[in-house]
Amino acid sequence: MASCNNLKTKMNTAESNKYAVEQFADLQILRYYVPGFDELSLKQKELVYYLSQAALEGRDILFDQNGAYNLTIRKLLEEIYINYQGDKKNNEYLALETYLKRVWFSNGIHHHYGSEKFVPGFTQDFFSKEILKLSPSQLPLIGDQTPNELLEAILPIIFDPAVMPKRVNQADGADLVQTSACNYYSGVSQEEVEAFYAKKKAIKDPMPVSYGLNSRLVKENGELVEKVWKVGGLYSAAIEKIVYWLKKAEGVAENNEQQAVINSLIAFYETGDLKTFDDYSILWLKDVNSRIDFVNGFIETYGDPLGMRASWESLVNFKDVEATRRTELISDNAQWFEHNSPVDAQYKKEEVKGVTAKVITAAILAGDLYPATAIGINLPNANWIRAQHGSKSVTIGNVTDAYNKAAHGNGFKEEFVYSNEEKTLLEKYGDITGNLHTDLHECLGHGSGKLLSGVDPDALKAYGATIEEARADLFGLYYIADAKLVELGLVPNEEAYKAEYYSFMMNGLMTQLVRIEPGANIEESHMRNRQLIARWALQAGAADKVVEMVQKEGKTFVVINDYQKLRTLFGELLKEIQHIKSTGDFDKARAIVEQYAINVDPVLHTEVLERYKKLNLSPYKGFVNPVYTAVQNADGEIIDVEVSYTEGYAEQMLRYSREHGNLPYYNE
C-alpha cells in the first residue's frame, strides 16, 4: 500500500509540474494547454491567430486604466531589469525583480485582487541610482523632462504609502472617485459624476446605453467632459492596432454571422458609439453556430468604484464540443429553473430568452483576463439586452483543468478539511460540482430574475457588483442540490452537491482569508460575495447548528451538520438578494454587505495565514499564454499555425512590452 501511495504522489507531482511555471510573493504562475487546436481547420487556426494578435494589442490600455503612472513605472522597472550590471543575488535587486513581476501580474502597482498598493522591498536610493545609470533614450521622459524631474514625479507614487494607496476604494462614506487611484476620472468628485449621469438617465429609454462604459470623465475649463476610448480618441494607438487585426479576422470568419459580429465591433472601436456597442453585443449573443468565439473590448466594471466604466479585456476561444453537452442541458432547462426559483414571482422572468451556454477552450487570455482569469463568463452585461435577447455563458474548461491538476497533492485539503468524510466527498465529487456550480452561476444565475420597471441598473452603486455576484452564486448553490440535476444526469447522485457546499462554506468562512493582508478588510466583490453568503448562513442557522466553526487539535474547522437546511438558507438569502436587486434598494444592499461581507475576524485570520504559510502555497494564480506562430509559404500565405508552450513568465512579459507596447507612457 505504501508503495502505491508513493507512486500516486510521484504521478501527482509530475502532473502538477507540467502546469507550474514559477512562484513568487503571493502568486503562482501556471501554464494552460489548448487541447483540440490541431484539430481545427486551417481557416479556423488563422482566425484564432488574428484574434489572438488583436487581443495582445490592447495590453497597455488596461495598465493605463489601472493607474495614470503604470506605463511609466513598468518601463522604468523593465529597463533596470534588462540593463542591471550588479550582483543579481543582491537583496535589493531580487526585491525589485519580484516587484516588477507583481506589476506585470496586476497590470499596475496595485494588487489585482485586494487593490492595495504594493510595498517595495527595495529602497528609494537603490531605485534612483539604477535609473540615473540609464541613458535618457531608455527612459520614459515627457518632452524636455530630465531624469531627475522624472524621479521626482515617480518616487512618491511608488514609495509613499499615502499616495494612491487603493486602486479601487469601496469604503462606506468616502468619496469613492477621489480616493481611488484608478484612471477612470480626473479632477471630479463622486457627487459630480453621479449628477452628470443622472441628467443623462433622466431621459427614459427602454434600451439605455451603458453610460460611461468606454470613456474617462475629466473636468476641463470647469466642465465635465468624456474622453472616449476609440480610434482618434483616447487610447487610439492601441485601438488602431486592435482594429487592424480584427479586419484580418473578418476576412477569414467562419460564417456571415461571425463576420457581422467582427464588423460591428470594428465600427464600435472606430466611432466609440455605445448604441453600436449594444448592436455588437446582440449580434455576438446571436452567433451560436461558430466554433471560434472571442471577447474583445471594454466589458467588466469591477475596476471602477462606481461600477460604470469598463476595463479592457479579451479572450479568444473555441467550443469544447463534448463538454458543452453539460451546459446545453442546463440552458435547455433554463425556464424550469427560473419558474422553480425561491424568489418572489414578481421578480422572475415570465419568459427566459436566448440563454446559451458552452464549455470553451481558451486560446489566448488578455487585458483584465491576463494573467489572472475568470473561469466562467456571462455576457452581455446590459440588463435590457439580457431581458430582451438573453445571454451567453461560458465555462473555460482548459483553465479549470490547469487549476485542478496543478493543485494535486498540495496538502491543502489535509490542512483545512475537517474529517475524512468531507475529504472523500471532495475527492469524489469536488471537480464535478465545482464546474457545475460555475455553469449554474454563469448560465442561469446572472441570467435569472428581472429589475422592476423604472429601476436604475446602477441603483446599488458601489454595492452592486457584490450583490450581483451573490445572486448568481446563490442561484447555483440552491440548484446544485436539486433532484433535477440528478434527473438530467449532471451529478451522479443526490449526495454529490455536499462537496460544493462544504467547499464553498469553508472558503467563504475561512480559507479565502489567505488572500487578505493582516489587518485589512475584504475589498474585492467576489470575495465579499462569498463571505456574505457564508457568514449570513452561519448566523441564520446558528440556533439549529446548521453550520459550525469547531476546534480540533487547536485548529478551527468548518462543519456542516445539516446540508438540506443549509440549502433552505441559501434559498432564503437568494430571495432577499433578488429583492434588493430587483427593487434597487440601496439601503438594504449597503446594510447586508457592510454587516456580513467586509470585516475580518483578526484571530481567525492570523490562524488561517499561519496554517497556510506552512504549505508553501500561493493564494493567487495566473497564467502564461501559449505562443502562436504563423507558418507562411514563399508567397506570404499562412499554411499553418503552430502553438508552443515553452515561453517563460518574464520572457513573455518582456516580449509583450516590446512587441505590443502601443501607448504613450502618459495618456491624456
Supply the pLDDT for residue 10: 43
Average pLDDT over residues 456-474: 96
Whether pLDDT at 609 is above 80: yes
Residue-averaged pLDDT of the chain: 95
pLDDT tens, position by position, 469-493: 999 999 999 999 999 999 999 999 9
Q: What pLDDT does residue 5 have? A: 46
Q: Strand 555-560 relative to strand 547-552: parallel, antiparallel, unpaired?
A: antiparallel
pTM: 0.90
Cell readout for 250 is 473578418
Confidence of residue 16 (pLDDT cuts 50, 70, 90): low
Statement: residue 1 has pLDDT above 50? no
- Kindly report, residue by residue over 379-402, the tens digit of the pLDDT: 999 999 999 999 999 999 999 999
| Residue 6, pLDDT score | 47
Q: Taking the mean position of all CA atoms in its chain, how far away is CA 485?
A: 28
Q: How confident is the model at residue 409 (pLDDT cuts 50, 70, 90)?
A: confident
User: If DSSP codes are grouped into helix, strand and coil, which group holds residue 352?
Assistant: coil
Crossing angle of the two packed helices 420-439 and 464-480, in degrees rounded to 10: 120
Domains, in order of start, for the chain: 2-32+54-166+622-634 (no CATH), 33-53+182-311+635-668 (3.30.540), 320-621 (no CATH)
- Give dist(CA 426, CA 497) in Å, integer: 10
Instruction: Please give the DSSP secondary-structure letter assigned to residue 182.
Output: S
pLDDT average, residue stretch 576-586: 98
CA nearest 583: which of 495, 452, 471, 465? 452
Query: Residue 536 has what pLDDT?
Result: 98
DSSP symbol at 625: P
Mean pLDDT over 425-452 rounds to 95
pLDDT at 231 over 90: yes
C-alpha closest to that of 647 among 638, 659, 632, 661:
659
Average pLDDT rounded to a whole number, residues 635-640: 96
With bands split at pLDDT 50, 70 and 90, how would you rate the model's confidence at 15?
Answer: low
d(CA 231, CA 81): 33
Tell me the chain's radius of gyration from C-alpha atoms.
Answer: 25
